[in-house]
């Protein structure tokens, strides 16, 4: 797990934050902000023309909220069948049921900033990936 002095996972203690400000100022591809026993919140920053990457979480529901930027989300029942495609922008919420294949691609001219809630947690407590390459290497 990549960590630096700016990375903090405040779970599982009670915690209050301005989530919009946290998401808009995050510069890391993925950073866990709060990890509890049954839920996890991560901040994400997807660079211009970047993407989260095609993935599915078999036992985890996921909620994503777009704070700034625009892109496209694709979802479907199988890796080769992403039959749902929607444009997303500031304020959009994306719900991904467990087992659903999905990807988000930044189609805008600025970084796509969002937060993601996983239930149950998907990543190790305190995870910090500065880039997608680091995330791919660790999740290999």
SS (H, E, C) 21-63: HHHHHCCCCEEEEEECCCCEEEEEEECCCCECCCECCCCCEEE
Q: Look at residue 13 and tell me if it is in a domain.
A: no
Q: Look at residue 117 and tell me if it is in a domain.
A: yes
Q: Look at residue 55 and tell me if it is in a domain.
A: yes
Containing structural domain, residue 54? 19-139
Average pLDDT, rounded, for the chain:
94
Taking only the tens place, the pLDDT of each residue in 81-122 is 999 999 999 999 999 999 999 999 999 999 999 999 999 999
Q: Look at residue 7 and tell me if it is in a domain.
A: no
Taking only the tens place, the pLDDT of each residue in 62-84 is 999 999 999 999 999 999 999 99
pLDDT band at 17 (very low <50, low <70, confident <90, very high): very high
| Residue 61 belongs to domain with CATH number | 2.60.120.10
Q: Record the pTM.
A: 0.92
């Amino acid at each position: 797990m990549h960590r630096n002095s700016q990375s903090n996972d405040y779970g599982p203690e009670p915690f209050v934050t301005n989530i919009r400000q946290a998401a808009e100022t995050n510069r890391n591809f993925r950073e866990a902000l709060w990890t509890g026993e049954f839920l996890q919140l991560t901040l994400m920053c997807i660079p211009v023309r970047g993407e989260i990457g095609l993935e599915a979480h078999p036992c985890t529901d996921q909620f994503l909220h777009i704070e700034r930027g625009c892109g496209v989300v694709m979802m479907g029942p199988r890796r080769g069948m992403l039959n749902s495609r929607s444009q997303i922008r500031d304020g959009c919420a994306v719900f991904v049921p467990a087992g659903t294949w999905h990807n988000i691609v930044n189609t805008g001219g600025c970084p796509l900033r969002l937060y993601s809630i996983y239930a149950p947690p998907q990543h190790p407590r305190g995870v910090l990936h500065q880039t997608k390459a680091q995330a791919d290497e660790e999740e290999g």
